[in-house]
Structure 1
């Protein structure tokens, strides 16, 4: 057995919410199977997973996606060379970024800026994803070398990608050599059924107004929807191992992503709707052949038949995964954890703790590596 891909399938019931808005402020949606569905973008869920990493992983293993690389380098240089002046640190850091074709540009002063307020340090034109270890090494080059070379910068930014850069990749438009291919693909979450967008009309009253003063002091409308979502992501274990440079680290990163993707939730309008729920079912499939998104199970929208949408969605997912197995080779392993509503229809389903599922995935991936 040689596991190449880790497929993660999640069914999650979400109450009235607006976790991911479009440019008009309404919940995102998409037409699938000729029916409008509720949608949450892959970018939103990847950002939520990264936020979950911060709660459970060592900060040194994580990364930062920012335009303020110069500022981060200058801060690290203050630790490495405390006697160096701010001006000298900025000058040296700029030389390093210039050698990597990432030279920041001065920040434009906003009209609203306070008179006499100093503008911030220069920023790159676009967001760049670096691990914290890479930023530290770039700072070390800036401290120790008056004339940094492109080769040095490339070497510093091409090792120790950390978990986040290794999983989600990095695109650098000005220097293709710094690009890192993502080892994770995340699908846009879709409702398993047709979904409508509704509107909440609300008013607010000034606490200090006179008791006999009629009317509202604020009126507004918030759009929302509710749905049972099918969520899917896949990890390319070969590419993840290549990015991290260590097989054991790749297994640990895969486990971290399975956990984070399962438990995370985009934070849009959470104060308004308190929509944080847990998944109804999680199916992790270890595959040797190719990743398989099972969204086709819901091309014909699920219809509630007096028992809600979760059980029927679980049955559809179970049937789809079974049909995949008859079309392709059987998966190397399948792990399932479910709620009581989905346990009866998902083969092998049981309400086991998520930690048990994650541990089992790690054990299987490790065994796969040892069997090579």
Structure 2
């Protein structure tokens, strides 16, 4: 095995270890409405799921919406609606919609015209409830079938699972529907042949692509179980955030007054319980910049791929700092930013430093929980670098005044987001603390 990897294969991992203090909040709740939790070191911790964090990042205001794919069960439904609104008959419109579902990964079997006919049921649906019971009663005729409504058809056209479709892929679907609608108006007599040819081609080639990936797809990946050729391997990994200390879920009894009381009535309009918790959360994330650029290079020029890669890295960094899940946001105003972020960049293997908090931190007379967490994280990281002979460039973003020593950043530390951003984009070449 060669001593060094070729430049194209050299690892370029940007690793983030963020500490964020949340006031009373419930940004990510379980099925009972309580903040999510986990056990670590035998102690209950607050938890924010990686799915919730990634969704918050994708829909953050700074994330370019023109580079955000759509996760939906309704691609076929919208295609049917486009054709139906253009005057295309239900049978061909449904067949086209089923084809869109198949060609975007919603089903594993190419649809036939008979499948559309079966869905429509000859334009009828059996009555339910009392009508069905009456139809089965001795001496009664079969109940009249009620016509399918448009809502019934659209409901049947939703896929079982959400599909990830890029902005360009959706544009091509809309263009295809527009072309079919135009063909219908130009020659209804030959439309069946036009549609059949389109269905055949789309079922063969699909409506997805192996290029034209949006930034969020390149970052977080895409799985198409029925057509693995269109899978996209994620360029990042985002861990579940958890509190560095023991966590307690608290209940808040609340009531809302009845505002139309009459004759001196007493009592509230609403009484119930809400749940919340608070604390310092550790968040680990890893971004493979080389893999990200490789994904974004497909179907694009080198300059465009590099521009989009830088844009994706910046959106990811900004999201880690500022984008938080929005659960119960109006009840708690719990929007916060990371207070401390330890970032490394280079060829070292990815390493979650959450074990630094296997023994939960506690406040002391000299240190609050954030200060104790920062100290624990940095000490653990220093020990890991020595034990595993790690050599990544390191930058520590410190936005917590209580953890700053003196009037200037310590060695290897920055105090502004701009300096952190420069290190993340340029690494030690930025001439900053990681140089």
Tell me the TM-score range normalised by the shorter chain. Answer: 0.7 to 0.9
1:361 corresponds to which residue?
Answer: 424
1:281–1:209 Cα change, 3 Å: same
Q: What pairs with 1:281-300 in structure 2 (closer than 5 Å)?
A: 281-300=340-359
The alpha carbon displacement at 1:248 in A equals: 4.0
Contact 2:79 2:96 in 1 (8 A): no
The alpha carbon displacement at 1:17 in A equals: 1.1
2:379 corresponds to which residue?
Answer: 319
**Deviation per residue, 1:285-340 (Å, 9 max, x gap):** 11312111111111110001134201110111111221222123211343524221
1:56 corresponds to which residue?
Answer: 62
Residue in structure 1 matching 2:47, options 39, 51, 59: 39
Residue in structure 1 matching 2:314, options 250, 255, 262: 255
Q: What pairs with 1:332-351 in structure 2 (closer than 5 Å)?
A: 332-344=393-405, 348-351=412-415
Determine the C-alpha separation between the residues in 2 that align with 1:349 and 1:199. Answer: 39
The alpha carbon displacement at 1:126 in A equals: 0.1
2:215 corresponds to which residue?
Answer: 163
| Structure 2 residue 59 is matched with structure 1 residue 7 | no
The alpha carbon displacement at 1:99 in A equals: 4.5
**Deviation per residue, 1:102-150 (Å, 9 max, x gap):** 3499799xx9xxx966343611110111211122234445648623245
* Alignment TM-score, normalising by the size of structure 1: 0.84
2:102 corresponds to which residue?
Answer: 98
Contact 2:105 2:163 in 1 (8 A): no
* Alignment TM-score, normalising by the size of structure 2: 0.73
Determine the C-alpha separation between the residues in 1 that align with 2:78 and 2:294. Answer: 27
Contact 1:96 1:148 in 2 (8 A): no
CA RMSD of aligned residues (A): 3.2
Determine the C-alpha separation between the residues in 1 that align with 2:412 and 2:262. Answer: 63
Structure 2: gaps of 5 or more residues = 1-6, 129-147, 181-196, 298-304, 431-435
Structure 1: gaps of 5 or more residues = 368-372
Determine the C-alpha separation between the residues in 2 that align with 1:366 and 1:223. Answer: 47
Count of aligned residue pairs for this structure pair: 355
Determine the C-alpha separation between the residues in 2 that align with 1:160 and 1:84. Answer: 32
Residue in structure 1 matching 2:151, options 80, 95, 118: 118
| Structure 2 residue 259 is matched with structure 1 residue 204 | no
